[in-house]
Structure 1
Amino acid sequence: MARPETPVNIEEKLAKVTEHWSPKTVLEANGLEFKAAKVQGEFVWHDHPEGDELFLVVRGELTIDLEDRPSAVLRAGEMFVVPRGVRHRPRAEQECEIVIMDPPGVVNTGAVTSDLTAAEEWI
């Protein structure tokens, strides 16, 4: 299901996400995967040497702590790109709904093994 033949409704996809920090791929375009996720609490510090990671906040507020840089605070409708190889830690005090854009096969925790490492799944 790389390219659905009908429009993808992100609200409907987010409604299917039941676990925090477990992104689900909703479509692929131009060699990138778009993943719907719900987050709350703190994630693990990690990086992605294989590519940049884009975060788009749909609902709520997300803070992305960055190693050796100021944190980025995103609200609904805002996007932020974590450059390839930059260690970061997303966190949200309250549940936040987001879309993440990554190259295919990127593990959500990078090279870090954690109970928050999610299996790849399409919805």
Structure 2
Amino acid sequence: MTSLPSADDYSAETAMYPPLTVVDVLAEQATVTGPYSNRALLDINDACVRLAVFDQAYRWHRHPASDEFFLVVEGCLEVELADGSSLTLGPWQSVVIPAGIVHRTSARGRTVNLTVETQQCLTEFLD
């Protein structure tokens, strides 16, 4: 598995683009050539929009004080939950994972998704 960011690195990341900037998400995802990228693109109110491009499983984690919204743009994303259930999302499908729910995402091949969560949200990794 590719090296993934620490919880501190993840929460300290700031948005790449300021307000009133047109962001070409298709072009942004095309620049990702490695197995994992998760970038904060934009801030909106107290949330940020992230672009995740990956082809592997992410770590088990939770966000104690932030819901997390996933919208798959390309590929297939499985969201595994600690209770043993899972949700499978294809292109243009979305789901909200409520704050505090332990989960991990797994890409089935190269997957591109947009995620919305609280800016600098606390992430607790459980592995």
Asked if TM exceeds 0.5, the reply is: yes
Instruction: Give the CA RMSD over aligned residues.
Output: 2.0
Deviates more, 1:42-51 or 1:4-13: 4-13
1:19-38 CA-to-partner distances (Å, cap 9, x unmatched) read: 43431111111211001111
Q: Greater shift after overlay, 15-24 or 80-89? A: 15-24
Point out the more displaced range, 52-61 or 20-29: 20-29
Over 3 Å counting, the alpha-carbon distance change for 1:63 and 1:113 in structure 2 is: closer
Aligned ranges for residues 9-24 of structure 1 at < 5 Å? 9-24=24-39
Q: Counterpart amino acid of 2:25?
A: I
Q: TM-score, normalised by structure 2?
A: 0.77
Superposed CA deviations along residues 8-47 of structure 1, whole A, max 9, x for unmatched, are: 2211121233443431111111211001111212111111
2:55/2:108 contact within 8 Å kept: yes
1:118 matched to which residue of 2? none
Note closer, same or farther for the CA distance 1:40–1:69 as it changes in structure 2 (3 Å cut).
Answer: same
Does 2:85 correspond to 1:70?
Answer: yes
2:110 is the counterpart of 1:95: yes
Tell me the equivalent position of 2:96.
81
Return the alpha-carbon distance in structure 2 between the equivalents of residues 112 and 18 of structure 1. Answer: 25
Number of corresponding residues: 112
Q: Does 1:45 align with 2:54?
A: no
Q: Which moved more, 1:17-26 or 1:55-64?
A: 17-26
Percent identity between matched residues is 29
Residues of 1 paired with 2:36 and 2:65: CA distance? 20
